[in-house]
Structure 1
Amino acid sequence: MKTNLVLIGMTGSGKSCIGQLLSTKLSTAFIDTDQYIEQMTNQTIPELFEISEQYFRNVETEVCKKLASEVTYTVLSCGGGVILKQENIQELRQTGWIVFIDRPIDHIFQDIQTKNRPLLKDGKDKLYQLYKNRIDLYREAADFIVENHSTMDDVIQEIEKYFIETIQKGELK
């Protein structure tokens, strides 16, 4: 049975902040998969990327499998590249609804520090390229898409509204 909310989207789209606020409002647990990976490996995300991006992606897949099988009634905020492996989405979809937080790239770039983001160390052009390469994957994976172009409260209300309407229609299983 699906009980989790799984937030996906570009780095800097607001997944972690929205996830924390949403979990508080819903009185559920919250897990940021990148933080979980860092705790599990005792290494930072940049350190894992130094080994190789493929190494990081494999660890990320292990974490997706683990969380999909072990957690319930939890808001999960996933790393921006979680959609690069279909296996991750398949695992997460088994126990949760996938919400794509879509945010304008210019807003993301204004708010994030690229030096701490391994894939963005080359700046704005890299961010645009990542978005272009990933947007279709995010959309295909999502059960629901929410635009994050206003306030966090607006985004949370939109997510809540979607799930209330879906429950009323009897579509959540």
Structure 2
Amino acid sequence: MEQYHIPSIIILVGPKHSGKTSTGRALANLISGTFFDLDNEITRIYGKSPRELFNEGEQIFRNAELEAVQKLLQLINNKDTSYLAKPIIVATGGGIVDNFKAITLLQQTGFIIYLELSSQTAWERIWYTAERSGDLPPFLKTENPETTHRNLHVRRSQLYRDLANLIIDAEIEPPEARAQEILKKLSQKIP
């Protein structure tokens, strides 16, 4: 029987539309863990979506993101929350790496898994969603959204690689296959 080293707290990071939420849910189901989506936590705390907060100002959003991380970590680490199934899986927002305080707290607390996605695939997914919703994400509302995205993607990709304890190809479909790939890679860490 294959053995896995399952960290008690797994943090999924990566670009927008890399499948952090769907992979996190699939992984939680696979290993009987508890799943949290940081964007949902922000909405629960503030009564506004991350997009709405970002539209009010990037710093307003970053402050909300940091507070959501702090509150989530307090919940996870509270001895009265033993009802939470372990491990805990947290899906972050695509730009968490630009929130130094928030990503530092997460890095100190959990095992970072980077869902790596090519810039082209990420852009195609963002564009597809924007065409359906009629709205690009606020951080891409620039003169040339595709160039803005590519520049952000390249910079953030390196930061995520530097942070990651494990890198998973986010092009793998469906999310359940990505979750299986995570378990496979974790099993390789057992001596």
CA distance in 2: counterparts of 1:70 and 1:85, whole angstroms: 20
Query: Aligned partner of 2:110: which letter?
Result: G
CA distance in 2: counterparts of 1:120 and 1:104, whole angstroms: 17
Structure 1: segments with no counterpart, 5+ residues: none
CA distance in 2: counterparts of 1:116 and 1:44, whole angstroms: 15
Counterpart residue number, 1:48:
53
CA distance in 1: counterparts of 2:184 and 2:108, whole angstroms: 22
Counterpart residue number, 1:98:
112
Q: Secondary structure at the match of 1:125?
A: helix
CA distance in 1: counterparts of 2:36 and 2:87, whole angstroms: 11
Query: Aligned partner of 2:178: which letter?
Result: V
State the shift of 1:69 in Å. Answer: 3.1
- Contact in 1 for aligned 2:16/2:93 (Cα 8 Å): yes
**Deviates further, 151-160 or 6-15:** 151-160
- Contact in 1 for aligned 2:36/2:91 (Cα 8 Å): yes
Which structure is higher in RCO with an 8 Å CA cutoff and minimum separation 6? 2
State the shift of 1:162 in Å. Answer: 2.0
CA distance in 2: counterparts of 1:98 and 1:164, whole angstroms: 16
CA distance in 2: counterparts of 1:83 and 1:19, whole angstroms: 18
Moved over 3 A (4+): none
- So what's the TM-score if we normalise by structure 2? 0.80
**Deviates further, 68-77 or 51-60:** 68-77
State the shift of 1:99 in Å. Answer: 0.3
State the shift of 1:154 in Å. Answer: 3.2
Counterpart residue number, 1:117:
137
State the shift of 1:22 in Å. Answer: 0.9
- Residue 103 of structure 2 corresponds to residue 89 of structure 1: yes
CA distance in 2: counterparts of 1:140 and 1:86, whole angstroms: 13
- Residue 154 of structure 2 corresponds to residue 140 of structure 1: no
Structure 2: segments with no counterpart, 5+ residues: 1-6, 77-85
- So what's the TM-score if we normalise by structure 1? 0.87
- Contact in 2 for aligned 1:89/1:141 (Cα 8 Å): no
Superposed CA RMSD in Å reads 1.8
Query: Aligned partner of 1:84: which letter?
Result: D
